[in-house]
A and B are shown apart, each in its own frame.
Chain A
């Protein structure tokens, strides 16, 4: 009885979550009431941490901290004792990816967003004060200074089990320091546990209106440069004055570094930045990591995972479903497997509520993750110890060990159980009621005595699920009940139909004894008492056995036509084909080609090899794989147009292997593509040569050992002739373009000299932009220059000649025929379109005879695509020179094979059929220059990456897989439970395809669902 009283006291007095503390320095407008807050929680199942559970144990807290936890704990006399029989106590959850209590940053719109190619530019930061040059680098932001507790938000988090969060302002690329706070309903002064607990980064410019960076690769370059600048700033260089941003950056380096990357490839990009500067980021993922879990493991990073799964789409309109993507459907099915994939791969991770549209879905989504294989133990760890450990705060929080902050949960069952109720969530030793009414389980049998006007009536009342009660005396009457933990209501009905008579009772529960007053059908009042008799019988779980999960396969890439398993190289013998060598041997009839170990081993007549798979080439043609000198596929961004000189950015930093165009272009015989920066600025970014290894990850796409190139551009695009609101960025004329070059290379020359002079002192600021230009001057990096009219081509060569470097390649070069002799003298290569013209002013003199004339003058000529569609018909684009000029077919084919290989300096490895070269080959159905030719097999490094037979089989497989998923989604919609990935109705969402382009010309032939990247405001 004593116990019950105490418990009641606890229940009553603390319902308002009265504050435990008052700050010593604050004046008091009350009578002082100092408290020690000592409590003892007894008879509980205490889960101290994911590894250790104590039965029938006691935990004592005082002054907001855990004093002791164990089985034989002495209970202090001044402790309020709370009997937790049948209850479980867990450490409260920790969310380290929150912006709780932090105001949102105001959008700076001055620059008009800067991302778009034709928008108004904002060149410098408009942040006031002695800060850095870029508005998106805000390491000076300190969450603890702008934090203010918000109990209504705190309550939503507490109600799902969280007790503390790491909070920061989610704005900018460098976001400053995060603060660790509890969710206690206390003064800010007490909830702030650690003022600077972490440093934050992202690939999102946020509120910055500055034009730079406008691309993924620009953000990467900016971060890299900032690491260098911050290092340099440590020497207090006079040239910089005070830079509070760099100072804060340096100050924050000792903190746990958290990078919000939000996508599997972005995670890798972030990790590589960290690797370069000796930082291991904790990576906030995006939910699609299970698609590349091996790569995730290779980062060695710890991850923060959200449980934001896509909702099921409506599956009732076939015309809408026509536009849903197989990858979207597959992701819908597999997204809940993400945490389990991390657990299986042994990757350390914690969980966050971030990104959830509705935070209350957290627990349901977590249980879904468990259905997909996440273990309870790992889930608890990921919500307690793991996040605390990542922040180096496990000595303070994250388990129920003595000395830690008293943040804990009391539940009526295992914490992740579907029927378990979170009763109380204690933060810093303060109780927060969550669903206290469930503290007592009202279910069971009671002896009820009603003192009715006709005398006492005894019932045995059984309270069941769903508010159903049975009143048993002579007969059994059906009735109802409700119970909120304190107030109880009961009723029963005698008779049926219109003559039914209802008696109603209500009262208050005092532990096991309920007292109250009732009223019968005639309005007679009476008192009643009920005492608890026995618990309901526990029935064996009659729930249907769970259906085993049927899940689709993860494919590489995670798109239709992806591989279940990456293909492997095998020896191949192509027999009896017409072989176009693109070498001095010319075109050979009835010839065999032998591929071994990924290389061309032999070609000739009557070759045999017992180990080789034989492909009958009778009636077919074999050529070297096509090389596209100018492409924009397979990258996440193309243009960093924020400045006129951006040689620091690198396409290779942001390759995107999940591009269907890789596959489509393989179907056109392309085996290598030179992925260029766009033409938004005079000195663009560093390019990346790739091989079309469909399914490979971003690193494995790269053409190993190839020379580095860089994109330059001249003319209308770089002077922003099409800017809708006028141009404010230097240059605005071709005269200015010339001076951008002169200035950049003059600075690079001076920089190189200064670097040399400073030797190992390192006093010169390392500049990634100038580093690339120095490489050019030292012939370690080579130019491919977007160019159209003869004046600019001529002028560009003069700059190169002045600074002693060649323009390796002029690309587009539609007026190249006018200065072919000059380019030949300079030593340039040229890469052009076959027949494009008059889509803008600088191409009105373009002619389809251009390639032919330049070839005749003696230049090394390539035909390129610059277009995701045309790239798969490059053989036919080359064939147009047969028509326009009468070039021989063999020479025409060279323009898409050996010639681009030469200009890319990879002709020793690919571009022709020559023994020892990489086996990059195409088997064609017909003369490869014919309009009727189809690539039947496309081979890269001896691996068949495209095969028309597999393609046909994959079409059927894709159709079946899509049908299966749509059926499953329809079923999920029918049985939608909140948070089960089925709720939250949403129409079928079209799968748009972002297609990168250089923003140079029309790309209307990119399919109905193709979206030009440049059409989109680049918000990150």
Chain B
């Protein structure tokens, strides 16, 4: 009977109103919750069997086999697995709704040097995509601007919010620099016997990189003087890079580009994160020496070279892990729209990482890279209760069945437009 009522109500919802907008962001946590008898994957590599996780007022208070459940609403999670909320480290979620429709794209600004551009102000909490990520365990995302050479700053959002201010988890975590490609790529029409690019793209790229350096040198000089008759917003925007309150995310891929990124560390002392970095396995020790972190954008990718190990992208995480490089695994797939983050990590585990290392690459490592590890990334007391409960291994699509998820202790609705459409037609066909 209950089921029928649910049917009817969901039928009404889907039939009468645009589905997503009706989904209520969860209200603040009121009662203390204890998830008991679960296998807790802490996020830092540890697994605690048969454990309890207690959280109160949005914060985790206790984790472990002997945690006290006194005064808490106890939810038995026997046989289930508990994970920290998964984190997308570089995403255009909420900035691009439909890739092919220009009006739905708010990711790419005009201009070359846009350090003052802020992604957070365009983040659309009503994007239909957001709610499709949560049932896969993704609860946080770093929203990055694209375009330009310096694209602007990214902010971390939590995926259950009324508006962007509400969503903001940590604003302006870093500035994004899209390094001009130093790969001699043929241009449109210039491939297969046609005329090659007239100018040398590598030379042009290096010139542009020099412009960026000049910009930072000027910004540094500007900041040395406290008072200015004319305020320069672009220089002001990169101030926090110099005192390492912000990171410089350098989007690049090949060794030469990454070596130039190292040069940025040397010259300006920036805290640098490489985004993309498909060839990072070739210079892992150098990255480690220079404390450069890596975000691997898309694990489910073809190798760089036809001659490469056919599984190279899958093996890169294990190679970085062995070298001691701090890295995160990301999913920026333009067709499945970021939902396969845990499975990208799962693939890395199939090719050399342990499951817990793979998990760290989408939780604690990601939090460390984004500068939010004090608040999230692992199931540890004192951190926000960003928690996912899954029936099985979250890294495997067969068992990634999320039954509950909490953001800052709030139990979020795991429904979404896609489930509602499925409900609607299952009802039509009587196959529910």
The answer to whether B398 touches A663, judged by C-beta atoms less than 8 angstroms apart, is no
Within 8 A of A (CB), among B171-219: 183-186, 188-189, 191-194
- Which of B220-228, B236-244, B320-328, B423-431 lies at the binding interface? B423-431
Most interface-central of B253, B309, B335 (chain A CB within 10 A)? B335
- Which of B69-77, B112-120, B148-156, B336-344 lies at the binding interface? B336-344
Residue A735 at the B interface, CB < 8 A?
A: no
Given contacts A323-B254, A818-B425, 15 further A-B contacts (CB under 8 A): A322-B282, A323-B305, A667-B311, A722-B100, A839-B99, A840-B98, A840-B99, A853-B429, A880-B397, A990-B184, A990-B185, A1002-B334, A1004-B334, A1009-B305, A1020-B192
CB distance from A549 to the nearest CB of B (A): 24
The answer to whether B335 touches A1016, judged by C-beta atoms less than 8 angstroms apart, is no
The answer to whether A836 touches B336, judged by C-beta atoms less than 8 angstroms apart, is yes
22 contacts between A and B (CB under 8 A): A322-B305, A323-B304, A326-B307, A660-B306, A817-B425, A821-B429, A838-B128, A840-B98, A844-B128, A849-B421, A853-B425, A869-B301, A889-B398, A929-B398, A931-B397, A932-B349, A1008-B183, A1008-B279, A1009-B305, A1011-B191, A1016-B192, A1017-B188
The answer to whether B310 touches A1001, judged by C-beta atoms less than 8 angstroms apart, is no
Contact of A325 with B186 at beta-carbon distance under 8 Å, contacts A836-B336, A930-B398 already known: no
Total number of A residues with any Cβ neighbor in B under 8 Å: 86
Given the complex of chains A and B, what is the CA–CA distance between A266 and B129 in angstroms?
A: 46
Contact of A839 with B335 at beta-carbon distance under 8 Å, contacts A820-B425, A1017-B188 already known: yes
The answer to whether B100 touches A839, judged by C-beta atoms less than 8 angstroms apart, is yes
Contacts of A883 in B (CB 8 A): 397-401
Q: Which of chain B's residues has its CB closest to A850's CB?
A: B422
Within 8 A of A (CB), among B400-432: 400-401, 418-419, 421-422, 425-426, 429, 431
Residue B39 at the A interface, CB < 8 A?
A: no
Contacts of A817 in B (CB 8 A): 421-422, 425
The answer to whether A664 touches B310, judged by C-beta atoms less than 8 angstroms apart, is yes
Select which of A845, A847, A1007 is within 8 A of B302 by beta carbon.
Answer: A1007
Residue B256 at the A interface, CB < 8 A?
A: yes
Given the complex of chains A and B, what is the CA–CA distance between A994 and B254 in angstroms?
A: 19
The answer to whether A845 touches B99, judged by C-beta atoms less than 8 angstroms apart, is no
Given the complex of chains A and B, what is the CA–CA distance between A559 and B310 in angstroms?
A: 13
Residue A506 at the B interface, CB < 8 A?
A: no
Given the complex of chains A and B, what is the CA–CA distance between A932 and B354 in angstroms?
A: 11
7 A-B pairs with the lowest CB-CB distances in the bound complex, closest first: A931-B346, A1007-B302, A1002-B334, A1017-B189, A849-B422, A840-B100, A847-B418
Given the complex of chains A and B, what is the CA–CA distance between A1016 and B311 in angstroms?
A: 27
Residue B333 at the A interface, CB < 8 A?
A: yes
The answer to whether A1005 touches B337, judged by C-beta atoms less than 8 angstroms apart, is no
Contacts of A992 in B (CB 8 A): 185-186, 191
Residue B278 at the A interface, CB < 8 A?
A: yes
Query: What is the count of residue pairs linking A and B with beta-carbon distances less than 8 angstroms?
Result: 205
CB distance from B392 to the nearest CB of A (A): 10
The answer to whether A962 touches B397, judged by C-beta atoms less than 8 angstroms apart, is no
CB distance from B200 to the nearest CB of A (A): 9
Contacts of A835 in B (CB 8 A): 336, 339-340
Given the complex of chains A and B, what is the CA–CA distance between A992 and B429 in angstroms?
A: 49
Residue B360 at the A interface, CB < 8 A?
A: no
Residue B26 at the A interface, CB < 8 A?
A: no
Within 8 A of B (CB), among A786-843: 817-818, 820-821, 833-841
Q: Which residues of B contact A (CB under 8 A)?
A: 97-101, 128-129, 132, 183-186, 188-189, 191-194, 253-256, 278-279, 282, 298, 300-307, 309-311, 333-337, 339-340, 343, 346-347, 349-350, 395-401, 418-419, 421-422, 425-426, 429, 431
Select which of B189, B256, B300, B400 is within 8 A of A873 by beta carbon.
Answer: B300
Residue A9 at the B interface, CB < 8 A?
A: no
Contact of A993 with B306 at beta-carbon distance under 8 Å, contacts A845-B421, A857-B431 already known: yes
CB distance from A23 to the nearest CB of B (A): 42
Interface of A, secondary structure class, is loop
The answer to whether A856 touches B431, judged by C-beta atoms less than 8 angstroms apart, is yes
Residue A736 at the B interface, CB < 8 A?
A: no
Q: Which of chain B's residues has its CB closest to A927's CB?
A: B398
The answer to whether A934 touches B333, judged by C-beta atoms less than 8 angstroms apart, is no
Select which of B310, B395, B421 is within 8 A of A847 by beta carbon.
Answer: B421
CB distance from A285 to the nearest CB of B (A): 15
Contacts of A868 in B (CB 8 A): 302
Contacts of B340 in A (CB 8 A): 835
Contacts of B98 in A (CB 8 A): 838-841, 844
Q: Which of chain B's residues has its CB closest to A816's CB?
A: B425
Given the complex of chains A and B, what is the CA–CA distance between A516 and B399 in angstroms?
A: 102
The answer to whether A885 touches B335, judged by C-beta atoms less than 8 angstroms apart, is no
Given the complex of chains A and B, what is the CA–CA distance between A73 and B311 in angstroms?
A: 75
The answer to whether A1011 touches B186, judged by C-beta atoms less than 8 angstroms apart, is yes
The answer to whether A319 touches B254, judged by C-beta atoms less than 8 angstroms apart, is yes
Residue A327 at the B interface, CB < 8 A?
A: yes
Given the complex of chains A and B, what is the CA–CA distance between A931 and B397 in angstroms?
A: 7
The answer to whether B188 touches A991, judged by C-beta atoms less than 8 angstroms apart, is no
CB distance from B179 to the nearest CB of A (A): 13
Contacts of A847 in B (CB 8 A): 418-419, 421-422
Contacts of A1019 in B (CB 8 A): 189, 192-194
Query: Digit string of A656-671 for contact with B (CB within 8 Å is 1, else 0)?
Result: 0000110110010000
Select which of A323, A820, A844 is within 8 A of B183 by beta carbon.
Answer: A323
Query: Digit string of A923-951 for contact with B (CB within 8 Å is 1, else 0)?
Result: 00000011111100000000000000001
The answer to whether A853 touches B422, judged by C-beta atoms less than 8 angstroms apart, is yes
CB distance from A1004 to the nearest CB of B (A): 6
The answer to whether A882 touches B397, judged by C-beta atoms less than 8 angstroms apart, is yes
Given the complex of chains A and B, what is the CA–CA distance between A989 and B196 in angstroms?
A: 11
Interface of B, secondary structure class, is loop
Contacts of B422 in A (CB 8 A): 817, 847, 849, 852-853, 885
CB distance from B201 to the nearest CB of A (A): 11
Contact of A841 with B100 at beta-carbon distance under 8 Å, contacts A876-B397, A932-B346, A1017-B189 already known: yes
Contacts of A154 in B (CB 8 A): none
Contacts of A852 in B (CB 8 A): 422
Contacts of B279 in A (CB 8 A): 322, 1008
The answer to whether A1016 touches B191, judged by C-beta atoms less than 8 angstroms apart, is yes
CB distance from A462 to the nearest CB of B (A): 52
The answer to whether A838 touches B129, judged by C-beta atoms less than 8 angstroms apart, is yes
Given the complex of chains A and B, what is the CA–CA distance between A817 and B429 in angstroms?
A: 10
The answer to whether A849 touches B418, judged by C-beta atoms less than 8 angstroms apart, is yes
Most interface-central of A113, A848, A987 (chain B CB within 10 A)? A848
Contacts of B253 in A (CB 8 A): 1008
Given the complex of chains A and B, what is the CA–CA distance between A163 and B71 in angstroms?
A: 103
Q: Which of chain B's residues has its CB closest to A664's CB?
A: B310
Contacts of A879 in B (CB 8 A): 396-398
Residue A211 at the B interface, CB < 8 A?
A: no
CB distance from B328 to the nearest CB of A (A): 18
Contacts of A319 in B (CB 8 A): 254-256
Within 8 A of B (CB), among A885-904: 885, 889
Given the complex of chains A and B, what is the CA–CA distance between A1004 and B343 in angstroms?
A: 18
Residue A955 at the B interface, CB < 8 A?
A: yes
Contact of A1007 with B335 at beta-carbon distance under 8 Å, contacts A932-B350, A1017-B188 already known: no
Select which of A561, A844, A1017 is within 8 A of B194 by beta carbon.
Answer: A1017
Given the complex of chains A and B, what is the CA–CA distance between A113 and B123 in angstroms?
A: 40
Within 8 A of B (CB), among A5-49: none
Select which of A722, A931, A1015 is within 8 A of B347 by beta carbon.
Answer: A931
The answer to whether B186 touches A1007, judged by C-beta atoms less than 8 angstroms apart, is no
Contacts of A821 in B (CB 8 A): 429
CB distance from B97 to the nearest CB of A (A): 7
Contacts of B256 in A (CB 8 A): 319
CB distance from A737 to the nearest CB of B (A): 18
Contacts of A721 in B (CB 8 A): 100
Given the complex of chains A and B, what is the CA–CA distance between A1010 and B301 in angstroms?
A: 10
Q: Which of chain A's residues has its CB closest to B136's CB?
A: A883
CB distance from A578 to the nearest CB of B (A): 15
Contacts of B343 in A (CB 8 A): 876, 931
Q: Which of chain A's residues has its CB closest to B191's CB?
A: A1016
Given the complex of chains A and B, what is the CA–CA distance between A87 and B192 in angstroms?
A: 45
